[in-house]
């Protein structure tokens, strides 16, 4: 991963954000399944509603995780840059 290494999180903390990240990707990739005829129109609609609600939740929860981690670790930050996590190593990088 490129960028400046500014800190690490614990394995448990990494798993928290990993689940959220995977869930977000999962919901995003679920959208394309709505074209299939596997569900009735009613079921499709409720699936879509659930997707919208869950995507909102997961996005908020991801931001809350970063806020909580920053509060705990006080990583270096630069205006206009953002932090990234390496899921293999639990390392946090500051990238432009």
Partner 1 sequence: MNNNLKIKMGSLPPSWRGLDGLPKTITFCVTENCNLACKYCYMTGKNHFKKMTFETAKRAIDFILSDTDNFKEASVVWDFIGGEAFLEIELVDRITDYIKQQMFLLDHRWFNSYRLSFSSNGLLYGTPAVQKYIKKNKSHLSVGLSVDGNKIKHDLQRIRPDGSGSYDDVVKNVPLWLSQFPNASTKATFSHDDLPYLKDSIINLWKLGIKNVAANVVFEDVWQDGDGIIIEQQLKGLSDYVLENKLWSEYSVRFFDPNIGKPLKEEDAGRNFCGAGSMLAIDCDGNFVPCVRFFNISLNNREPIYIGNADTGINQDKVRPFLALNVKSQSLPECMTCDVATGCAWCQGCNYDMADTDTIYQRAIYLCNIHKATVRANKYFWNQFECVTGLPSERIDQEGENRQGIKKYLQFITSDDITPHCAYRNTKGTNNIMAAEVLEKGLAYCSKNGYTPAFLGIPGETDSEKYQEYIVIDKAGQAGNTVSVFDNTAENQDESGVGILLLNRNNIQNLYEIIEKLFTQLYRVNLVIEDLFGWDNEDTELYRTELDKLVVLMADKYMQGEELELNVLTDIWNLKAMKNCDAGINSFSLAPNGRIYMCPAFYFNDPDSHVGTLEDNVTIKNPQLLLLENAPICSACDVFNCDRCKYLNKKMTNELNIPSKIQCVVSHIERNQSMKLQKLIKENSSCQYENILGEIYYLDPLEKLLKI
Contacting partner 1 (CB under 8 A), which of 13, 47, 65, 91? 47
Q: Taking the complex as a whole, how short is the minimal distance between the CB of residue 88 and partner 1, in angstroms?
A: 8
Does residue 40 touch partner 1 according to CB under 8 A? no
Q: Give dist(CA 53, CA 58) in Å, integer.
A: 9
> Element (H or E) spanning 90, and its range?
none
Does residue 55 touch partner 1 according to CB under 8 A? no
Q: Are 95 and 6 in contact (CB under 8 A)?
A: no
Contacting partner 1 (CB under 8 A), which of 1, 38, 52, 53? 38
């Amino acid at each position: 991963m490129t960028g400046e290494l500014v800190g690490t999180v614990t394995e448990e903390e990494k798993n928290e954000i990993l689940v959220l990240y995977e869930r977000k990707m999962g919901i995003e990739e679920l959208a394309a399944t709505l074209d299939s005829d596997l569900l009735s129109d009613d079921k499709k609609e409720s699936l879509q509603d659930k997707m919208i609600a869950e995507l909102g939740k997961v996005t908020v929860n991801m931001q809350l995780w970063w806020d909580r981690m920053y509060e705990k670790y006080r990583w270096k930050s630069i205006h206009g840059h953002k932090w990234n996590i390496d899921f293999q190593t639990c390392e946090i990088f500051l990238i432009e």
